Amino acid sequence: MSTHASILKHPLRVRMFHYFLVLSFIPLAATGVALFLKPFTEAAMNMLMRVHVIAGMVLTLDAAAFFVLALDRVVLFTKRAFTFGLNDVKWFAVLGGYPQKFLLRKKVPVPPMGKYNSGQKLFGACILVGGILLIGTGLSLWLFPHVIPHALAKAFGDIHLIAGLFLTLFLLVHIFLGIYMFDDFKAMFLHGRIPYEEAAEVAPLWVQGEIVALTDRS
Rule CB under 8 A: which residues touch other proteins? 2, 5-9, 12, 67, 71-72, 74-76, 78-79, 115, 132, 136, 140, 144, 147-149, 152, 191-193, 196, 209-215, 217
CB of 87 or CB of 140, closer to other proteins: 140
Please, what is the minimum distance in Å from the beta carbon of residue 217 to other proteins? 8
Please, what is the minimum distance in Å from the beta carbon of residue 57 to other proteins? 17
- Three-state secondary structure call for residue 193: strand
CB of 69 or CB of 169, closer to other proteins: 69
Dist CA 60 CA 131 (whole Å): 9
CB of 129 or CB of 165, closer to other proteins: 129
Which phi-psi region, left, alpha or beta, contains residue 5 (left: φ > 0; alpha: ψ -120 to 50)? beta
CB of 44 or CB of 76, closer to other proteins: 76
Bridge partners, 195 (sequence order): 6
Dist CA 17 CA 9 (whole Å): 14
CB of 25 or CB of 156, closer to other proteins: 156
What Cα–Cα distance (Å) separates residue 18 from each residue in 8, 11, 37, 63, 85?
Answer: 15, 11, 28, 10, 27
Residue 96 near residue 131, CB atoms below 8 Å: no
Please, what is the minimum distance in Å from the beta carbon of residue 205 to other proteins? 12
**What DSSP string describes 135-155?**
HHHHHHHHH-GGGS-HHHHHH
Please, what is the minimum distance in Å from the beta carbon of residue 216 to other proteins? 9
Closest CA to 88 of 115, 127, 121: 121
Please, what is the minimum distance in Å from the beta carbon of residue 94 to other proteins? 27
